[in-house]
Amino acid sequence: MFDVILKNAALSYNNRVVFKDLNLTLEGGQWTCLLGGSGVGKTSLLRFIAGLSTAKGLKTSGTVFCEDHKVLEDRFAWMSQQDSLLPWFNVLENVTLGSRLRNSIFKRNKLSPEDRSRAENIISKVGLANKANELPQNLSGGQRQRVALARTLMEDKPLVLMDEPFGALDAITRLNLQDLACELLQNRTVMLITHDPLEALRLGHHIYHLQGNPATLTEAIIPPGNTPRSLEDRELMTLQGELLERLRQEEVCA
């Protein structure tokens, strides 16, 4: 698994600098978590890494490259807070959307037997085997986010960029989905943006805090132990307290 390296990244919208001189390495096969107040620049940074910085008035400089010097372009999957499921497609059709879109225009609705069986396998791994033919409107928020996770897994990319993927869920569903994502995305390189210090501490190998204006990254926190870390881990709770305090301080200063 390759590292993804960000060097001297800078980004501004209409001359308002969001961040500059940012350096970050996403270590191959590990989870990097990013915390930070609203509007500090987390999504902008993630989009920058993905090469999706296209908004009007936006200027960027700096480089993103892979340690193996191959292009990143077709080697990442994206998962966001909004599940972005297409309402007229059922679960299986949503999960296989990427592969169907890559088919020629005449075969868009045809799924190869291999893709179908892989999709069914993934849908069953996320616990939705009995919902494969349901439309998104008939699913709960947690189930919809499971479909989004299945779609991300179906893409089978080495790098997964996640922008607050569990943000809209209740606490228990969220913990369960964290565990599931941790299990199913093991050995992938993951960058996870979250507002929840506990989520970062349970899942992250490296945790960064983006703060300030222009924003800078703090030194990485590297929690001990294997992921997903237990809620009963005392050190985790202490770190959570420290991080919450730090984030609260940032709100006061903003």
Ligand X SMILES: Nc1ncnc2c1ncn2[C@@H]1O[C@H](COP(=O)(O)OP(=O)(O)OP(=O)(O)O)[C@@H](O)[C@H]1O
| Chain residues in the site for ligand X (CB under 6 A) | 13, 18, 36, 38-44, 55, 57
Single-letter amino acid, residue 133: N
Nearer to Mg ion, 25 or 43 (CB): 43
Q: How far apart are CA 181 and CA 204, in angstroms?
A: 12
CB of 47 within 8 A of CB of 243?
Answer: no
Residue 221 DSSP one-character state: B
Site for Mg ion in 14-73 (CB under 5 A): 43
Contacts of 81 (CB under 8 A, 6+ apart): 163, 164, 165, 167, 168
CA dihedral 107, 156, 1, 210 (to 10 degrees): 110
Residue number, nearest CB to Mg ion? 43
Nearer to ligand X, 118 or 174 (CB): 174
Tell me how far CA of residue 238 lies from CA of 36, 55, 198, in angstroms.
Answer: 19, 40, 10
Q: How far apart are CA 35 and CA 132, in angstroms?
A: 34
Find which of ligand X, Mg ion, none residue 145 binds, CB within 5 to 8 Å per kind.
Answer: none
Nearer to ligand X, 93 or 164 (CB): 164
Q: How far is the CB of 193 from Mg ion (least distance, A)?
A: 6
Q: How far is the CB of 36 from ligand X (least distance, A)?
A: 6
Nearer to ligand X, 53 or 227 (CB): 53
Start-end of H helices in 28-185: 42-50, 91-95, 97-102, 113-125, 141-155, 171-184
Q: How far is the CB of 67 from ligand X (least distance, A)?
A: 25
Nearer to ligand X, 38 or 226 (CB): 38
Q: How far is the CB of 43 from Mg ion (least distance, A)?
A: 3
Q: How far is the CB of 167 from Mg ion (least distance, A)?
A: 9
Q: How far is the CB of 38 from Mg ion (least distance, A)?
A: 7
CB of 58 within 8 A of CB of 12?
Answer: yes
Nearer to ligand X, 98 or 167 (CB): 167
Q: How far apart are CA 146 and CA 123, in angstroms?
A: 8
Find which of Mg ion, ligand X, none residue 66 binds, CB within 5 to 8 Å per kind.
Answer: none
Find which of Mg ion, ligand X, none residue 65 binds, CB within 5 to 8 Å per kind.
Answer: none
Contacts of 191 (CB under 8 A, 6+ apart): 26, 31, 32, 33, 34, 46, 49, 159, 160, 161, 162
Nearer to Mg ion, 42 or 229 (CB): 42
Q: How far is the CB of 99 from ligand X (least distance, A)?
A: 29
Q: How far apart are CA 115 and CA 117, in angstroms?
A: 6
Residues that bind Mg ion (CB under 5 A): 43
